[in-house]
Amino acid sequence: MNGLRIRLKLILKLWFRSLYAIVTMLFIPIAAYIIYSSQSYTIEDLTSVIYERAAPLWLIFILQWCLSVDFDSKFYLQVMTYPFSRWKFTMERILFAAVIFIGLLSVVTLVLTPTMGVFVWKSLVFTVPVYMAIIGFVVAGTMIGAHSVGGLLAGILFWMCSEFGGIFLGDLNVILIKYGSVYTFVHGESGFFAIENHWILYNRLFYIGIGGLLTGLALLQYMRKTA
């Protein structure tokens, strides 16, 4: 645990000293400010833009950076020669990215809470399954391509499909909060297990499953590699 804490401190120090990180961190606050200042939004529209459209891109770039530290330098090949569980090595990098992402997104959410209420926190929780799917795509792309660019491309492909392919995805659409029935579900105005909400639960379970499956397959491939 002490080793994990030390490695987390090191990567956080590296992150906050990186120009790439500074630009990435400014992405959502600037986007949120521009949208908020336009005054042409509803609460569900704003939360959908932030948590379902902008935040996934934020997560993709943060994940790509965290994985690039070891995979682009080929340090992961060195790890294969050590008596160290490879899946733990990869899960640590995912954990580091998750800590940075959730920490930064929580700051944005805290800033929005006084004017938009607790609904922003509910929207954040509602979108977590999509973030899990993104992690699966980025990690799988990185493992297959043996480079973080592979993960970046896989993540952006997923984002583009969710952003522009909504009419084809149907009940598996990623962009949901802006719709009235989903807004009432997230807000807690309708029963969690009500029949009319079953498709929403299946939607979230689908993305949790995709994320877990892709991450598991990527780790399995990594563990089978030889130096």
Domain chopping of the chain, boundaries: 2-224
Query: Which string of b and e fits 94-117 if b means at least 16 CB within 10 Å?
Result: bbbbbbbbeebbeebbeebeeebe
- Integer Cα distance of 61 and 122 in angstroms: 24
- Integer Cα distance of 142 and 148 in angstroms: 5
How large a percentage of the chain has pLDDT more than 90?
A: 27
User: Three-state SS for 226?
Assistant: coil
Q: What is the pLDDT of residues 100-141, one digit of tens each?
A: 899 888 988 898 888 888 999 999 999 999 999 999 999 999
> In degrees to the nearest 10, what's the CA dihedral of 128, 131, 132, 134?
170
Question: What is the per-residue pLDDT for 197?
Answer: 84
Is the confidence at residue 19, as pLDDT, over 70?
A: yes
Mean pLDDT of 159-180: 84
pTM surpassing 0.85? Answer: yes
Question: What is the per-residue pLDDT for 84?
Answer: 62
DSSP letter for 84, please.
Answer: S
Q: What is the pLDDT of residues 198-213, one digit of tens each?
A: 999 999 999 999 999 9
Is the confidence at residue 79, as pLDDT, over 80?
A: no
